[in-house]
With several copies, the nearest count.
Chain A
Amino acid sequence: MKWRVRVLVRLKEGLNDPEGRVIGNALRNLGYKVEDLRVPKCFEFTLESERPEKEVEEMCKRLLANPLIHTWEYTIEPVK
Protein backbone atom coordinates (compact mmCIF):
# COMPACT_ATOMS: atom_id res chain seq x y z
CA MET A 1 0.00 0.00 0.00
CA LYS A 2 1.10 3.58 -0.66
CA TRP A 3 1.08 6.36 1.86
CA ARG A 4 1.67 10.06 1.85
CA VAL A 5 3.90 10.93 4.79
CA ARG A 6 4.92 14.18 6.41
CA VAL A 7 7.54 14.15 9.16
CA LEU A 8 8.40 17.12 11.36
CA VAL A 9 11.64 16.98 13.33
CA ARG A 10 12.00 19.56 16.09
CA LEU A 11 14.82 20.51 18.39
CA LYS A 12 14.14 19.44 21.95
CA GLU A 13 12.78 22.11 24.23
CA GLY A 14 15.53 24.11 25.82
CA LEU A 15 18.00 23.72 22.98
CA ASN A 16 18.49 26.98 21.19
CA ASP A 17 17.80 27.28 17.49
CA PRO A 18 20.27 29.78 15.97
CA GLU A 19 18.64 29.78 12.58
CA GLY A 20 15.21 30.36 14.07
CA ARG A 21 16.61 33.23 16.10
CA VAL A 22 18.03 34.95 13.01
CA ILE A 23 14.85 34.57 10.99
CA GLY A 24 12.74 35.70 13.93
CA ASN A 25 14.87 38.82 14.24
CA ALA A 26 14.60 39.50 10.54
CA LEU A 27 10.81 39.31 10.73
CA ARG A 28 10.71 41.59 13.75
CA ASN A 29 12.91 44.02 11.83
CA LEU A 30 10.29 44.07 9.12
CA GLY A 31 7.80 45.08 11.79
CA TYR A 32 6.00 41.82 12.58
CA LYS A 33 5.31 40.82 16.16
CA VAL A 34 6.81 37.39 15.93
CA GLU A 35 7.97 35.31 18.90
CA ASP A 36 9.54 31.89 19.49
CA LEU A 37 10.30 31.28 15.88
CA ARG A 38 11.62 27.77 15.26
CA VAL A 39 12.67 26.01 12.11
CA PRO A 40 11.75 22.35 12.37
CA LYS A 41 12.90 20.08 9.57
CA CYS A 42 10.13 18.82 7.40
CA PHE A 43 10.10 15.83 5.06
CA GLU A 44 7.32 14.89 2.69
CA PHE A 45 7.32 11.68 0.72
CA THR A 46 5.38 8.74 -0.61
CA LEU A 47 5.98 5.43 1.12
CA GLU A 48 5.12 1.95 0.00
CA SER A 49 4.77 -0.17 3.09
CA GLU A 50 2.60 -2.64 4.90
CA ARG A 51 3.45 -1.17 8.29
CA PRO A 52 3.90 2.54 7.66
CA GLU A 53 3.81 3.70 11.31
CA LYS A 54 6.50 1.29 12.30
CA GLU A 55 8.67 2.16 9.31
CA VAL A 56 8.30 5.91 9.66
CA GLU A 57 9.11 5.74 13.34
CA GLU A 58 12.20 3.71 12.45
CA MET A 59 13.27 6.15 9.74
CA CYS A 60 13.15 8.98 12.23
CA LYS A 61 15.24 7.08 14.76
CA ARG A 62 17.71 5.77 12.24
CA LEU A 63 18.23 8.79 10.01
CA LEU A 64 15.85 11.72 9.90
CA ALA A 65 16.31 12.77 13.50
CA ASN A 66 19.04 12.58 16.10
CA PRO A 67 17.37 11.28 19.27
CA LEU A 68 19.89 13.15 21.43
CA ILE A 69 18.60 16.53 20.31
CA HIS A 70 15.35 15.99 18.41
CA THR A 71 11.75 15.01 18.88
CA TRP A 72 9.52 14.13 15.95
CA GLU A 73 5.97 13.70 14.82
CA TYR A 74 4.37 12.58 11.59
CA THR A 75 1.15 12.25 9.69
CA ILE A 76 0.47 9.28 7.44
CA GLU A 77 -2.39 9.20 4.97
CA PRO A 78 -3.32 6.63 2.37
CA VAL A 79 -2.65 7.70 -1.21
CA LYS A 80 -5.84 7.73 -3.16
Chain B
Amino acid sequence: MPRFAVIVFPGTNCDFETVEAIRKAGGKAERVWYKGSIKDYDGVVLPGGFSYADYLRAGAIAARQRIMEEVREFAEEGKPVLGICNGFQVLTESGILPGALRPNKIPRFICRWVYLKVVDTNTAFTRLYEPGEVIKMPIAHAEGNYYIDDPSKVRIVFQYSDEKGNITEDTNPNGSVLNIAGISNEKGNVLGMMPHPERASDRFLGSEDGLRVFRSMVEWVKR
Protein backbone atom coordinates (compact mmCIF):
# COMPACT_ATOMS: atom_id res chain seq x y z
CA MET B 1 0.00 0.00 0.00
CA PRO B 2 1.41 3.44 -0.89
CA ARG B 3 2.72 5.31 2.11
CA PHE B 4 2.37 9.04 2.57
CA ALA B 5 4.03 11.40 5.00
CA VAL B 6 1.85 14.17 6.40
CA ILE B 7 4.31 16.76 7.64
CA VAL B 8 3.54 18.44 10.95
CA PHE B 9 5.13 21.81 11.65
CA PRO B 10 4.62 23.65 14.92
CA GLY B 11 1.12 25.06 14.47
CA THR B 12 -0.06 22.66 11.77
CA ASN B 13 -3.61 21.69 12.64
CA CYS B 14 -5.22 19.68 9.84
CA ASP B 15 -2.85 16.72 10.11
CA PHE B 16 -5.17 14.17 11.71
CA GLU B 17 -8.07 14.63 9.31
CA THR B 18 -5.69 14.58 6.36
CA VAL B 19 -4.26 11.26 7.51
CA GLU B 20 -7.82 10.00 7.85
CA ALA B 21 -8.76 11.13 4.33
CA ILE B 22 -5.74 9.38 2.82
CA ARG B 23 -6.64 6.24 4.72
CA LYS B 24 -10.17 6.39 3.32
CA ALA B 25 -8.72 6.84 -0.13
CA GLY B 26 -6.86 3.56 0.22
CA GLY B 27 -3.44 4.83 1.21
CA LYS B 28 -1.42 4.62 4.34
CA ALA B 29 -0.43 7.86 5.99
CA GLU B 30 1.64 8.89 8.95
CA ARG B 31 2.16 12.20 10.69
CA VAL B 32 5.82 13.16 10.51
CA TRP B 33 7.18 15.85 12.83
CA TYR B 34 9.12 18.40 10.81
CA LYS B 35 12.41 17.47 12.42
CA GLY B 36 12.16 13.96 10.97
CA SER B 37 12.66 12.61 7.47
CA ILE B 38 10.30 11.64 4.67
CA LYS B 39 12.80 9.55 2.72
CA ASP B 40 10.91 6.26 3.19
CA TYR B 41 7.60 7.48 1.81
CA ASP B 42 6.00 7.38 -1.62
CA GLY B 43 4.42 10.80 -1.38
CA VAL B 44 4.10 13.77 0.91
CA VAL B 45 1.29 16.02 2.01
CA LEU B 46 1.73 19.44 3.62
CA PRO B 47 -1.57 19.88 5.49
CA GLY B 48 -3.42 22.99 6.55
CA GLY B 49 -3.12 24.97 9.73
CA PHE B 50 -1.06 27.83 11.06
CA SER B 51 2.57 26.79 10.94
CA TYR B 52 4.46 29.19 13.19
CA ALA B 53 1.11 30.86 13.82
CA ASP B 54 1.32 32.52 10.38
CA TYR B 55 3.76 35.01 11.87
CA LEU B 56 5.72 37.00 9.29
CA ARG B 57 3.78 35.59 6.30
CA ALA B 58 1.73 32.43 6.17
CA GLY B 59 4.05 29.52 5.41
CA ALA B 60 7.22 31.63 5.34
CA ILE B 61 9.01 30.16 8.32
CA ALA B 62 7.98 26.57 7.66
CA ALA B 63 9.29 26.93 4.11
CA ARG B 64 12.80 27.53 5.48
CA GLN B 65 12.95 24.36 7.58
CA ARG B 66 15.35 21.59 6.69
CA ILE B 67 12.66 19.05 5.82
CA MET B 68 11.61 21.24 2.89
CA GLU B 69 14.85 20.29 1.15
CA GLU B 70 13.59 16.71 1.12
CA VAL B 71 10.23 17.90 -0.16
CA ARG B 72 12.01 19.73 -2.97
CA GLU B 73 13.88 16.54 -3.92
CA PHE B 74 10.60 14.63 -3.85
CA ALA B 75 9.10 17.16 -6.21
CA GLU B 76 12.02 16.92 -8.57
CA GLU B 77 11.98 13.12 -8.54
CA GLY B 78 8.36 13.25 -9.66
CA LYS B 79 6.84 11.88 -6.45
CA PRO B 80 3.49 13.38 -5.46
CA VAL B 81 3.61 16.47 -3.27
CA LEU B 82 0.31 17.96 -2.13
CA GLY B 83 0.04 21.25 -0.25
CA ILE B 84 -3.34 22.13 1.22
CA CYS B 85 -4.06 25.65 2.46
CA ASN B 86 -1.11 26.41 4.73
CA GLY B 87 0.70 23.66 2.84
CA PHE B 88 0.12 25.56 -0.41
CA GLN B 89 1.51 28.68 1.26
CA VAL B 90 4.58 26.72 2.32
CA LEU B 91 5.06 25.46 -1.24
CA THR B 92 4.96 28.95 -2.77
CA GLU B 93 7.14 30.40 -0.02
CA SER B 94 9.74 27.72 -0.65
CA GLY B 95 9.61 28.37 -4.38
CA ILE B 96 8.54 24.81 -5.19
CA LEU B 97 5.42 26.33 -6.72
CA PRO B 98 5.39 29.79 -8.33
CA GLY B 99 3.53 32.83 -7.08
CA ALA B 100 2.55 34.12 -3.65
CA LEU B 101 -0.49 33.92 -1.39
CA ARG B 102 -1.38 37.35 -0.11
CA PRO B 103 -3.93 38.51 2.49
CA ASN B 104 -7.55 38.15 1.31
CA LYS B 105 -9.06 41.12 -0.49
CA ILE B 106 -11.17 41.65 2.63
CA PRO B 107 -8.41 41.22 5.17
CA ARG B 108 -10.09 38.73 7.41
CA PHE B 109 -10.05 35.01 7.98
CA ILE B 110 -12.85 33.41 6.05
CA CYS B 111 -14.33 29.95 6.47
CA ARG B 112 -17.03 29.00 3.97
CA TRP B 113 -18.03 26.43 1.39
CA VAL B 114 -17.19 27.25 -2.21
CA TYR B 115 -17.56 25.70 -5.64
CA LEU B 116 -14.50 24.83 -7.67
CA LYS B 117 -14.16 24.14 -11.33
CA VAL B 118 -11.64 21.42 -12.10
CA VAL B 119 -9.79 22.79 -15.11
CA ASP B 120 -6.89 20.38 -15.33
CA THR B 121 -7.45 16.67 -14.85
CA ASN B 122 -4.00 15.57 -15.92
CA THR B 123 -2.29 16.00 -12.58
CA ALA B 124 -1.51 13.30 -10.05
CA PHE B 125 -4.35 14.61 -7.91
CA THR B 126 -7.17 15.28 -10.34
CA ARG B 127 -7.18 12.22 -12.59
CA LEU B 128 -10.48 11.03 -11.16
CA TYR B 129 -12.39 14.22 -11.94
CA GLU B 130 -14.15 14.99 -15.20
CA PRO B 131 -12.70 17.93 -17.11
CA GLY B 132 -14.75 21.01 -16.22
CA GLU B 133 -16.49 19.27 -13.33
CA VAL B 134 -17.77 21.53 -10.54
CA ILE B 135 -17.09 20.33 -7.01
CA LYS B 136 -17.80 21.62 -3.50
CA MET B 137 -15.30 22.14 -0.70
CA PRO B 138 -14.70 24.50 2.23
CA ILE B 139 -12.02 27.18 2.34
CA ALA B 140 -10.62 28.51 5.60
CA HIS B 141 -7.84 31.04 5.31
CA ALA B 142 -6.74 34.63 5.81
CA GLU B 143 -4.03 34.62 3.14
CA GLY B 144 -5.38 32.82 0.12
CA ASN B 145 -5.21 35.61 -2.43
CA TYR B 146 -3.07 34.04 -5.14
CA TYR B 147 -0.76 36.41 -6.95
CA ILE B 148 1.55 35.85 -9.88
CA ASP B 149 2.99 38.50 -12.14
CA ASP B 150 2.41 36.41 -15.26
CA PRO B 151 -0.49 33.94 -14.99
CA SER B 152 0.46 32.27 -18.25
CA LYS B 153 3.41 30.81 -16.34
CA VAL B 154 1.27 28.57 -14.13
CA ARG B 155 -0.70 25.43 -14.62
CA ILE B 156 -4.12 26.21 -13.17
CA VAL B 157 -5.92 23.22 -11.66
CA PHE B 158 -8.87 24.63 -9.69
CA GLN B 159 -10.74 27.91 -10.06
CA TYR B 160 -13.38 29.38 -7.76
CA SER B 161 -16.68 29.26 -9.60
CA ASP B 162 -20.40 29.14 -9.03
CA GLU B 163 -22.50 26.00 -8.95
CA LYS B 164 -22.62 25.93 -12.74
CA GLY B 165 -18.94 26.51 -13.27
CA ASN B 166 -19.09 30.21 -14.15
CA ILE B 167 -15.97 32.01 -13.07
CA THR B 168 -16.75 35.58 -12.06
CA GLU B 169 -15.60 38.26 -9.66
CA ASP B 170 -18.53 37.35 -7.40
CA THR B 171 -17.34 33.79 -7.01
CA ASN B 172 -13.85 34.91 -6.05
CA PRO B 173 -13.72 34.74 -2.25
CA ASN B 174 -10.26 36.18 -1.70
CA GLY B 175 -9.13 38.22 -4.70
CA SER B 176 -6.97 35.58 -6.39
CA VAL B 177 -5.70 36.26 -9.90
CA LEU B 178 -8.06 34.51 -12.36
CA ASN B 179 -9.98 33.00 -9.41
CA ILE B 180 -7.12 30.58 -8.93
CA ALA B 181 -7.78 28.09 -6.12
CA GLY B 182 -5.13 25.53 -6.97
CA ILE B 183 -2.10 25.19 -9.23
CA SER B 184 0.39 22.50 -10.10
CA ASN B 185 3.96 22.39 -11.31
CA GLU B 186 4.69 21.62 -14.92
CA LYS B 187 5.03 17.89 -14.40
CA GLY B 188 1.73 17.67 -12.52
CA ASN B 189 3.19 15.90 -9.50
CA VAL B 190 3.03 18.92 -7.17
CA LEU B 191 -0.33 20.48 -6.34
CA GLY B 192 -1.05 23.44 -4.11
CA MET B 193 -4.64 24.32 -3.27
CA MET B 194 -6.33 26.64 -0.80
CA PRO B 195 -9.61 24.68 -0.36
CA HIS B 196 -9.62 21.73 2.03
CA PRO B 197 -10.34 18.42 0.28
CA GLU B 198 -9.89 16.54 3.57
CA ARG B 199 -12.90 18.40 4.97
CA ALA B 200 -14.98 17.25 2.02
CA SER B 201 -14.20 13.56 2.30
CA ASP B 202 -17.08 12.30 4.40
CA ARG B 203 -20.73 12.07 3.57
CA PHE B 204 -21.73 13.54 6.94
CA LEU B 205 -19.51 16.59 6.57
CA GLY B 206 -21.26 18.10 3.57
CA SER B 207 -19.46 16.63 0.57
CA GLU B 208 -17.25 13.77 -0.53
CA ASP B 209 -15.92 15.65 -3.53
CA GLY B 210 -12.52 16.10 -1.94
CA LEU B 211 -11.84 12.42 -1.49
CA ARG B 212 -10.97 12.03 -5.16
CA VAL B 213 -7.93 14.27 -4.70
CA PHE B 214 -6.52 11.65 -2.35
CA ARG B 215 -7.77 8.69 -4.40
CA SER B 216 -6.10 10.09 -7.49
CA MET B 217 -2.90 10.53 -5.55
CA VAL B 218 -2.99 6.99 -4.18
CA GLU B 219 -3.72 5.46 -7.57
CA TRP B 220 -1.09 7.54 -9.24
CA VAL B 221 1.55 6.10 -6.92
CA LYS B 222 0.29 2.57 -7.54
CA ARG B 223 0.34 2.96 -11.30
Direct contact of A and B (CB under 8 A): yes
Candidates A15, A23, A29; contact of B55 at CB < 8 Å: A23
- B55 engages A18 (CB within 8 Å): yes
* Binary contact readout A3-25 vs B (1 if CB under 8 angstroms, 0 otherwise): 00000000000011011001100
How extensive is the interface on chain A, given as a class?
Answer: 10 to 19
- CB contacts under 8 Å to A, within B48-74, are 52-53, 55-57, 60-61, 64-65
What's the minimum C-beta distance from B110 to chain A, rounded to whole angstroms? 12
Which chain A residue lies CB-closest to B93? A66
- B52 engages A66 (CB within 8 Å): no
A1 in the interface (beta carbon within 8 A): no
B182 in the interface (beta carbon within 8 A): no
Q: Which residues of A contact B104 (CB under 8 A)?
A: 18
A46–B65 alpha-carbon span in the complex (Å): 23
Known: A18-B107, A19-B107. A26 touches B102 (CB 8 A): no
- Residues of A bordering B, CB below 8 Å: 15-16, 18-19, 22-23, 26, 29-30, 41, 62-64, 66, 68-69
Pairs A–B under 8 Å by Cβ, sample size 13: A15-B147, A18-B53, A18-B55, A18-B103, A18-B107, A22-B53, A26-B64, A30-B64, A62-B64, A66-B100, A68-B100, A68-B147, A69-B102
| Top 10 A-B residue pairs of the complex, sorted by shortest distance between their CB atoms | A18-B107, A26-B61, A19-B55, A19-B107, A22-B55, A68-B100, A69-B100, A18-B103, A23-B56, A22-B52
